[in-house]
Amino acid sequence: MKFFIDTADTDEIKDLAATGMVDGVTTNPSLAATSGKSFIELITEICAVVDGPVSAEVTATDFPTMMKEAEVLRKIADNVAIKVPLIPDGLKACKALTDDGTMVNVTLCFSPAQALLTAKAGATFVSPFVGRLDDIGADGMGLIDEICNIYANYDYETEVLVASIRSPMHVVEAARMGAHVATMPPKTLRQLYQHPLTDKGLKAFLDDWTKSGQSILG
């Protein structure tokens, strides 16, 4: 499974990228608005830090303007993935862009039918939002399972990018289902490291080492 970071905080991206565990970055207009930078400047900075796909979302909702915005964004760097909403004009833009060799992330997916249309349009990634479904009492992870099964039936190349992740268990469950990518806030990625028995065991080892009076460095 690939790990993407869902943030516009370049300091967080740099810090986590140093671990070697960041395979890409996702952004959206809401995240970008909190950065205090122009959108072009922000995507340029992120692409300089991360080699993998960096999703940059268009803000237009009509096909002609989407394509104009996409043309600006994909010139920033070769690893830009154009992010489009799952609406008819978004799927039309997806088809045109992928046919032209550009990575496309189709976002705001909430049903298996939408995911099927996305794969038919040739998207690089489909982004189902598990947390937002859970928020309204629906089964977010059930959607991931359905999409993974449908895609496997037809060997679709579109990768399932699990979005709106709220906890480490979302990541683990998505991995068990065979999802290709999990995009998460920096906090959630760091939570994957954490376990109380790891902390307890390390403390015991270090306490014993301190009592021994030894030092590896002499």
Please confirm, yes or no, whether 92 is among the known catalytic residues: no
Calpha distance 140→169 (Å, rounded): 12
Nearest CA to 110 out of 68, 146, 60, 59 is that of: 146
Token pair of 19 as six digits? 């671990």
CA–CA gap between residue 94 and residue 98 (Å, rounded): 6
Choose the catalytic residue: 83, 187, 203, 211.
83
Short-list 34, 209, 48, 179, CA closest to 109: 179
41 vs 201: CA distance, rounded Å? 44
- How many Cβ atoms sit within 10 Å of the Cβ of residue 166? 15
Nearest to 58 by CA among 99, 98, 105, 101: 105
Rounded Cα gap, residues 117 and 140, in angstroms: 19
Residues identified as active-site: 83
